[in-house]
Structure 1
Amino acid sequence: MACCVTLVQLSISCEHLTDKDIGSKSDPLCVLLELMLGGLCSQLCRTECVRNCSSPEFSRTLIYDIDTRPVLPHFPQIVSSQTLTLPLMLKPGKPAGQGTITVSAQELKDSRIVTMEVEARNLDKKDLLGKSDPFLEFFHQRDGKWHLTYRSNVIKNNLNPTWECFSVPLLHFCGGDPSIPIQVHCSDYDSNGSHDLIGTFHTTLAQLQAVPAEFECIHPEKQKKKKSYKNSGIICVKTCRVETEYSFLDYVMGGCQINFTVGVDFSGSNGDPSSPDSLHYLSPMGVNEYLTALWSVGSVVQDYDSDKLFPAFGFGAQVPPDWQVSHEFALNFNPNNPYCAGIQGIVDAYRQALPQVHLYGPTNFAPIINHVTRFAAQAAQQRTASLRQYFVLLLLTDGAATDVEATREAVVQASKLPMSVIIVGVGGADFEAMEQLDADGPLRTRHGEAAARDIVQFVPYRRFQNAPREALAQTVLAEVPTQLVSYFRAQGWAPLKTPPFPGKGPVQVLQA
């Protein structure tokens, strides 16, 4: 399967963009969208946002799989010419007035990446009322031109910064050739886009790998004017490794076990299940929005589970026999064995549970997230075992979480573990709070602790009511492969070479 996938890397730059902000330039970014069944669009990936810039060059590339997805418009032209410049359009046939986009394509035949940690000391002070806000840009030479390959984060008010560890595809970083010239710029960030150069140096990947490697940061104008000039600081490369970047398929085919858990919202805001206005009302065909969403997502996920046994829970209802409110009761009312046989088993358990519980509330997500987190934590501790496990929690709900702070805390803790959380919002409620869990910026607790990585994908079901079932599944599961790979890569875990013992997910791990 892996041999049938061809990945193409798209490098993007723009020129002469229209200024959309009052008193400043635009803050552009590019998004790669895929047109799905039913006419809906799904975001595949995006570049970084470049502040206050009308002619940006984006360092973050877009990766497109041309074997499993439709061919993009103009894609044959891009591939044949390698680089294509087109006028920007507000919509097909309507030019934006000014501005062009240039797309360069390169097939990713090499799966290796360059991972680096870089720091600096004694950088020049550039700000009148502070020090400097330094960031780095790496360029490699191709066709007689310098092409941006990576832009670091900005370190505020610091002359001795340590930048975040970063990884770049080897082909993008240096064309796969460790001897190709590389130019590095260190600059002082300005919010208006007029960044001040601190200094530059030239090197190669081979030289960067001779760690610890130190380079003098030279400002050309200062060097010309001052005879006593030495440098504008020292850039130190702490680590520089060339590693293999494994894919989702590499991990799955290498024996990674995906454990799928479902949580269904039974809070009173769903309405009386006997009323046609209720989101839990079963139509004459025996379906509702909850079941449609479950089938769409579960039918895809179940193919990655060896035994097709899935724990399923309900939350927000009064349950027999004592009618206490529970936020993690087994749909089959067997807490010692909450497994359902396949998606059909979950559907059957849901239909049997619906008339036996009293819809109540509140809508608390944290208990069931923490429930799965406990098992993900146990799996993470088995790093020396021949078992790799990843946990996907699907929450089906009609509204925002009542326990917002507790949910944020639960997600932040889960982000450190092999786990993803998918939330599908059914009905027409205001899901703004849920969309904040899936925001681009790092999620933080009220105490300021940031999530280790993005693990939440929120999708409102109403966007897919008139679309084929596959469209919902495609959007809901779009981020899981990347989230799985990011976790295992952060742990330094390569795919297993031999199949693992087929565990049965959270509850079996707990009993063992």
Structure 2
Amino acid sequence: MHNKNILENRDMQVVQHPTSKVELRFQCTKLTNLDTFSKSDPQIYIYHQQRGSKVWDLLDRTEKIQNNLNPIFRKVVNVDYFFEDIQNLKIVVIDVDNDHTYDLKKQDFIGELDTTLGEIISKPGCTLIKDLKSKSNSFAGTIQIVAEEIRATGLNIKFRFGGKHFDKKDLFGKSDPYFVLGKYSGTGYQTVYTSETHKNTLDPEFREVMLKLEELCGGDLNRPIQFEFYDWDSVGKHDFIGSFNTTTAELLAGKKDFDVINPKKKEKKSSYKNSGVVHFHNVQQCKDYTFLDYLIGGCEISLMIAIDCTGSNGDPSFAGSLHYKHPTEPNEYAKAIVSVGNVLGPYDADGIIPVYGFGATVPGVGRVNHCFPMSLTDNPNALGVPGVLDTYYQNITRVDFSGPTYFAPIINAAASFAAGGGAQKYTILLIITDGEICDMENTIESIVKASTLPMSIVIVGVGNANFDNMNVLDGDNGVLIAPSKARAERDIVQFVAFNQYKDKDFMLLANETLKEIPGQLLGYMKSRNIQPNPPRVAQAVPPVVVAATPVPPK
């Protein structure tokens, strides 16, 4: 019997748990310069092979660093480590020429390195330093990869400080100070945070910083950390002001004042005291709340849907239209609504979903409307996903398709909705569209403003249009900057082309479009210091009282 059970279970899939989780940090030196009138704008793409596969899949990518041949990348890449596996990695360094696409064929190739996760971890200090090779197999620069085990502590460190009497570095002004925070890794300090820049001041007051304890010091309170201060310059190298070293334990113990020291100045002048002083206003250790903490506490996730009604979709009464209602097969708009709506539905207490259209003329109005209730009444709300589909199918043939494709009005409407939702409510705007945006500058301006609100934007591209420009809106490749020069506070946009899932279970679309939502919600809540409510308590089911059955007389 025992052997029979073994034979019967041989084909069962074994769930393999990682030995550990590690983070990878990257920096390069002496990269080949591929730009004529400036320096290269490097970015790293990291590929891996799934177990048993020879196909290279994208694991992650770093940010782009402008005009720099010796870049230190801030983006950390997390990966599961399996001791028993050979985990092949391909590191590709490119010079970004086109910010609108992630297609490497449209970028300049600098160099690459093939290695394994085991090779990186086995090196002293878990630090691998190797040459990058160009397409002709010649030297293209050097890359350093540092691996560190992630020890989850469930704790954050929150601190805020200001500086006084920093050195004056600018000829016609004061200084433009910012700081870089690093943790010691055995071979030096690895950057874990870079602050904002304060213009023309010697007395900067920096924003409050909150980091996971493992990010700051790997969970070791006595591990050295370093604060370096620089004067930002628009051209050339930033000027070093000074630095100081400390530990997380020392900060938590209450030490508040530190001298900012420039070692070169200290060597030259016996009377040298410092290049400024830093005073910590507060340092606090606090719980690292998770996405589930907010959901369990009753945070609602509200869905709002916007449907593209521009002429490029085609007349919905004809089978070739993207809005055509097939008797047995849902169209791509309907599939996107069902895929995303069914995932988010349970997290919205009232089940109400506002539904809007854009890019059409509605009955009784002689102009194109770029944000109108899909119900064609004053009430945009539908009840659940079935209500959304009913509203969509009933009214899509009642509007006159027009154009152009404008996103800004619909984003502004969602922003107004999110602004009035309260602290424990988060809005997701789902935009389903078939074409390129015609008001890109206004759209970027609206997204940057919306990045300060409790909301995210998911864009699903349907049909066969070229959606390369949509990648501009996705902040994965750097901070989104509006024409007004305002910078997005955080990344709130995710774009996915429906065609990538055309021959797959369309419910996988929700997995891709919503995967960044937990991080975006947490980023907003933590930036506003909004803590989750206490866990909701399930209401006890009242006991069922069963009346005693009378015993018949004998």
Rounded Cα–Cα distance in structure 2 between residues aligned with 1:496 and 1:249 = 11
Aligned to 2:454: 418
Shift of 1:389: 1.5
Shift of 1:493: 1.6
After superposition, the C-alpha distances for 1:282-329 in whole angstroms (9 at most, x for unaligned) are 456433332343344334333544565533232233334667754444
Q: Which amino acid aligns with 1:391?
A: T
Q: Would you say 1:315 and 2:358 are equivalent positions?
A: yes
Q: Would you say 1:485 and 2:499 are equivalent positions?
A: no
Rounded Cα–Cα distance in structure 2 between residues aligned with 1:165 and 1:49 = 24
Q: Would you say 1:356 and 2:398 are equivalent positions?
A: yes
Shift of 1:173: 1.8
Q: Which amino acid aligns with 2:24?
A: L
Distance 1:212 1:402, change over 3 A: farther
1:302 aligned counterpart, secondary structure: helix
Q: Would you say 1:161 and 2:204 are equivalent positions?
A: yes
Distance 1:63 1:181, change over 3 A: same
Which structure exhibits the higher relative contact order, with contacts defined as CA atoms closer than 8 Å and separated by 6 or more residues? 1
- Within the candidate set 14, 19, 42, 1:28 is matched to 42
Q: Would you say 1:459 and 2:478 are equivalent positions?
A: no
Aligned to 2:278: 235
Aligned to 2:26: 12
Shift of 1:216: 1.7
Rounded Cα–Cα distance in structure 2 between residues aligned with 1:291 and 1:40 = 33
Shift of 1:44: 5.1
* Alignment check: 8 A CA contact 1:114 1:242 kept: yes
1:251 aligned counterpart, secondary structure: helix
Rounded Cα–Cα distance in structure 1 between residues aligned with 2:134 and 2:390 = 46
Distance 1:301 1:72, change over 3 A: farther
Q: Which amino acid aligns with 1:354?
A: I
Q: Would you say 1:177 and 2:211 are equivalent positions?
A: no
Rounded Cα–Cα distance in structure 1 between residues aligned with 2:220 and 2:532 = 26
Aligned to 2:230: 187
Aligned to 2:68: 52
8-17 or 319-328: bigger deviation: 319-328
Q: Would you say 1:394 and 2:408 are equivalent positions?
A: no
Distance 1:83 1:95, change over 3 A: farther
Aligned to 1:251: 294
* Alignment check: 8 A CA contact 2:130 2:142 kept: yes
Correspondence 1:434-473 to 2 at 5 A: 434-439=470-475, 440=477, 442-443=479-480, 447-465=484-502, 469=506, 472-473=509-510
- Within the candidate set 531, 534, 537, 1:494 is matched to 531
Correspondence 1:40-439 to 2 at 5 A: 46-47=62-63, 49=65, 52-54=68-70, 56-64=71-79, 73=89, 74-75=116-117, 83=126, 85=128, 87=130, 98-128=141-171, 131-143=174-186, 145-189=188-232, 194-209=237-252, 213-282=256-325, 285-305=328-348, 308-320=351-363, 325-333=368-376, 335-336=378-379, 338-342=381-385, 344-380=386-422, 383=423, 388-404=424-440, 407-429=443-465, 431=467, 434-439=470-475
After superposition, the C-alpha distances for 1:185-222 in whole angstroms (9 at most, x for unaligned) are 22344667654432232322244346682222222232
Rounded Cα–Cα distance in structure 1 between residues aligned with 2:390 and 2:287 = 44
Aligned to 2:95: none
Counting matched residue pairs gives: 488
* Alignment check: 8 A CA contact 1:314 1:331 kept: yes
Q: Which amino acid aligns with 2:76?
A: T
Rounded Cα–Cα distance in structure 2 between residues aligned with 1:356 and 1:230 = 77
After superposition, the C-alpha distances for 1:431-471 in whole angstroms (9 at most, x for unaligned) are 56644433455555655554433322233444554565355
Rounded Cα–Cα distance in structure 1 between residues aligned with 2:187 and 2:406 = 59
Distance 1:420 1:481, change over 3 A: same
44-53 or 472-481: bigger deviation: 44-53
After superposition, the C-alpha distances for 1:171-196 in whole angstroms (9 at most, x for unaligned) are 23223333333333223446676544
Rounded Cα–Cα distance in structure 2 between residues aligned with 1:377 and 1:281 = 35
Rounded Cα–Cα distance in structure 2 between residues aligned with 1:164 and 1:214 = 17
TM-score (norm 1): 0.78
* Alignment check: 8 A CA contact 1:52 1:192 kept: no
211-220 or 427-436: bigger deviation: 427-436
* Alignment check: 8 A CA contact 1:60 1:150 kept: no
- Percent sequence identity is 36
TM-score (norm 2): 0.73
Larger radius of gyration: 2
Shift of 1:250: 2.6
Rounded Cα–Cα distance in structure 2 between residues aligned with 1:75 and 1:281 = 49
Q: Which amino acid aligns with 1:62?
A: V
Rounded Cα–Cα distance in structure 1 between residues aligned with 2:362 and 2:189 = 66
Rounded Cα–Cα distance in structure 2 between residues aligned with 1:204 and 1:299 = 47
* Alignment check: 8 A CA contact 1:117 1:238 kept: yes
Shift of 1:104: 0.5
Distance 1:209 1:32, change over 3 A: farther
